[in-house]
Amino acid sequence: MTRRFHGFALAATIVLLAPVFAHAQSADLVLCDRLAADGADPDKPADIKGVAEVAPSDVETAIKFCKKAAGGSRRAMYELGRAYAANRAMPEAIAAWRKAADKGSTSAMVELGVLYGTGAGVARDEAQARKLFERAAQAGNPRGVSNLAALGGSGGAPADPAKSRELLAKAAETNAEAQYQLGLLLAEGSGGEKDDVQARALFEKASAQNHPGALERMGAFTQEGRGGPKDSSAAKAYYERAAALGDEDAKKALERLRCPYTIKDKRGNVVTNLCF
């Protein structure tokens, strides 16, 4: 069975429920955030958008300023790891994520868990990956929850989606990734009753925070009239927003809207699509 872990190390796809206190930020931290912040990091201030990946042209500058800010900020230490990873300097990235995780960064815990779960840059150690995901999940990190579910139970037993729902529920009060992950469980009827209305409501909340996956799901739900009104124009708008944020499923959905008619040969093989 192929396992999919959510983290920078695999596909540069969360909440720490402790409060984030406002305080004066150094210029180094501001620049570090601007270039290397993870949009899904719970330590990230709400007014910082974040980036899916550190741009190649920004790597050197990000490393410089994140390194300066990392001494007094676990967020900057985590972001320093992201910058190193973008620069393919994995030993340095791992070292930074270890330090950030020791300071309580659940995003760093997830990244390290992904590395141990896949054996990327470290010896593969599923037990260590599980411990890291469990720490992140218990702190309310949705990626910790979903990656823990991907590992399954002890000894390879099936994951407990009902427990995943429980862990995600509190985080979903405010966090877009948790809303998206919980929405998926509700939409699939995994771990409890299927509830398209509630799933759509969660996707809508996450979409308001520009979560790419949630925007794509809102496009699909709105296109199908699932869990609420059907609206083709609104569906297209959701897909366009998701595609602009890099969501590949949304890009494919837009292409299907543009080319809705499929021509097949007598064997049923697709020959071409008719586009508008």
Phi, psi (deg, nearest 5) at residue 158: -60, 150
Is 241 part of any domain? yes
Domains identified in the chain, total number:
2
pLDDT tens digits, one per residue of 101-115: 999 999 999 999 999
Task: Clarify whether residues 275 and 212 are in a common domain.
Answer: yes
Is 179 part of any domain? no
- pLDDT for residue 22 is more than 60: no
pLDDT tens digits, one per residue of 117-168: 999 999 999 999 999 998 998 887 888 887 887 776 555 444 678 888 887 8
- pLDDT for residue 16 is more than 70: no
pLDDT of residue 57: 97
User: What tokens does 263 get?
Assistant: 């021509």
pLDDT of residue 114: 95
Task: Clarify whether residues 140 and 33 are in a common domain.
Answer: yes
Q: How far is CA 64 from CA 36, 81, 93, 198, in A?
A: 11, 12, 14, 44
| pLDDT-based confidence at residue 8 (cuts at 50, 70, 90) | low
d(CA 36, CA 234): 32
Pick from 212, 184, 176: nearest CA to 200: 184
Which ranges of 103-154 would DSSP assign to H, the alpha helix? Answer: 106-118, 126-138, 142-151
Question: Distance from CA of residue 20 to its chain's centroid?
Answer: 20
Is 120 part of any domain? yes
pTM: 0.64
Beta partners for 261? 274
Higher pLDDT, 43 or 61: 61
| pLDDT-based confidence at residue 20 (cuts at 50, 70, 90) | very low
pLDDT of residue 177: 82
| Containing structural domain, residue 116 | 1-171
Task: Clarify whether residues 76 and 10 are in a common domain.
Answer: yes
User: What tokens does 90 get?
Assistant: 């994995």
- Contact predicate 244/255, CB 8 Å: no
Type and span of the H or E element at 97: helix 90-102
Q: How far is CA 236 from CA 90, 180, 239, 252, in A?
A: 39, 19, 5, 12
For residue 91, give the CATH number of its domain: 1.25.40.10
